[in-house]
Structures are given as structure tokens and as C-alpha cells.
Amino acid sequence: MSKLGGAFLRLFPERLILPAMSMSSRSFLPGLAVLCLTGALLGVPFSEVLARSQEPNLQAPAGAQGAGAKAPPVRSTRDFLGLGPAPDAAAAKWGEPLYKANCSACHGPTARGAQGPNLVRSVLVLHDEKGEEIAPVVKNGRASSGMPAFPQLSETEIYGIAEYIHLQIELAANRGLYSHSNTMTSGDAQKGKAYFEAHCATCHSVTGDLAGIAGKYPQPSAMLARLAWPSSRGAREATVTLASGEKMTGTLAHYDDFETSLKTAAGKVETWPTATVKVDIPDKLAGHRALLPKYSDDDLHNLTQYLLSLK
């Protein structure tokens, strides 16, 4: 039992508490399983847990299935680990290139994280069944924390991406692999310089706006995050066109599906129902958005080393 408990803890440390705490209808059963396990670890003989521990794939030591093991585990293992329905393998397959093009630069090729968080361990992702939790984050982004919005991705495309992420959780659970890759130590500054001259110099100069940038972001991870997606927390400029055709420009004080508020240069705040106006928010980061799908991991690490050399 302790071997099993240990393997479980290594795989899903946070799930020991979380499913038990959030007793939504979906996580109630996994939560119960986890409570049983916790009980069992404390020496309480739950026959349910003992019965499950007889299953061969739960007794196998972590990683024993071999790196090539892709067969989905039996349903009860999924229940036991508190995972949702098995990922849609076909969707994961066509979702993979979309994930690699749009997400892997920040979340890593197998979603285990780079400068963006590890999605395989994300509570939000673990609570997602078929994209319903992931889609709003992808559609809207999180402007204040470095997650870009992808308004161009369709619901279907996001579904494929979500299934690809779920498959990574599945594979991680099966193989017992949960290593954090240390991706920050590599990188070739000379190659980074060449990449910069080819792709960045149209907007930036290392003797102008980016002079001494290493002093501003001395940590490799901070530098990588900043160069990949330099969104700022500052107010967003916008132009609002009223039903009458009148246009007003200012900074957005509030903007959601229901209400839009604009603070004008004169300091006055105007508010309209969003449905009655047209809101244009210039995409300052269009250049960065266009580059995101083009970077390889090496490009990002080379660029990071190059910018870190600009002391």
C-alpha cells in the first residue's frame, strides 16, 4: 500500500487535497477515492482501495510500462487518479500541430511548462473535460500575466489542443514521468544575435530601446517570458465608435461582453452597453503575436542568452 501511495503522491501530489476539497459533482467520486487512499495510508482498511490495488497496472512501479507504452489504462485507473474521461486520441492527434505552433513555446512541447506554467499539473486543466475550462483562457488570454489571447482559434481547434494536453496528462500518469526540464541553462548568444537581426531589428535596436535590457530582466526566465510576450499591465488604448458614428478615443476603464467604459483625455469616464458600440483596441503586440508560432525552443533560448549579454 505504501508503495502505491508513494507512487500516487509522486504523480499527483496536489490531487490528494484538491479533489477532496472541491466536491463538485464531477470531482466527488475521485475525491472519494482519494479520501479512501488517504484513509488507507493512515492504516484504515478500506476494502474499496484494497480491491483496486490488486489491479496489475496500479501495482506496477512508476515507469515500468516503458517509454513506448501508449495504451490507455483501464477505466478504473482513471477514476482512481481522479482524471476525467479518457482523452479523444483522434482529436489529440490533429490538435498536436496546433498546440506545437501556438502553445509549446511557452508551455513546453509536452505541456510540462517552460516560462509558461506546467499545464499537466494545472488544476484548471485537470478540471477540464473537453475544453470548456481551457477555451475561455485561450480565447481571452490573461492580459496581466503573460498569457496571450488567441481569438483566431476556433472552438474545434481549441478542442483538439485541449485533448492534446489531456493526452500529455495521460502519458505522464502512465509513465510516472514528472520531471521539470531545466530549459534555462542552454542557448547560444551568437545565434540569438543572428535571429534578432533577422526578426526583431525592424522594431527594436540593442543600442536604442533595448539597450541595457539585461539590467531590467537579469533572470533568464524573466527575460524569456518578456521577449516572448511583452504584455504590459498598463491601461489599453481604445477607440469606441458610437451608434451615431461618433468616435471617442481614450483608455479602457472597463470592457466585457456587457459594458464598456472609456476614460477620455479630459478625464471623463463614459459607459455604454457593449452591444451598442464598436470597440477597436489596437494590437500593439501584433509583431510578437506573429512570431510566437515561429520560434523553436532553441530560438527562444538563443535569444534569451543574447539579450542577457546586453548589459
What does the binding site for ligand HEC look like in residue numbers (CB under 6 A)? 102-103, 105-107, 116-117, 119, 122-125, 134, 137-138, 142, 145-148, 150, 161, 196, 199-200, 202-204, 213, 216, 226-230, 232, 284-285, 287-288, 291-292, 303
**What cell numbers appear for 180 in the block?**
521539470
Nearest approach, Cβ of 301 to ligand HEC (angstroms)?
A: 12
Nearest approach, Cβ of 6 to ligand HEC (angstroms)?
A: 25
**What cell numbers appear for 17 in the block?**
487535497
CB neighbours of 152 closer than 8 A, spacing ≥ 6? none
Is the CB of 101 or the CB of 242 nearer to ligand HEC?
Answer: 101
Task: In whole angstroms, give the CA distance from residue 306 to residue 298.
Answer: 12
Answer positive or negative: Cα dihedral of 120, 125, 129, 130. Answer: negative
Is the CB of 36 or the CB of 134 nearer to ligand HEC?
Answer: 134
Nearest approach, Cβ of 248 to ligand HEC (angstroms)?
A: 22
Nearest approach, Cβ of 230 to ligand HEC (angstroms)?
A: 4
Nearest approach, Cβ of 237 to ligand HEC (angstroms)?
A: 10
Q: Which of 39, 34, 77, 37 is nearest to 59 (CA)?
A: 77
Is the CB of 49 or the CB of 210 nearer to ligand HEC?
Answer: 210
Is the CB of 102 or the CB of 174 nearer to ligand HEC?
Answer: 102
Is the CB of 15 or the CB of 52 nearer to ligand HEC?
Answer: 15
Q: Which residue is nearest to ligand HEC (CB)?
A: 287
Give how far Cα 55 sits from Cα of 49, 236, 254, 270, Å.
10, 55, 54, 64
Give how far Cα 206 sits from Cα of 3, 35, 181, 200, 299, Å.
55, 56, 30, 10, 17
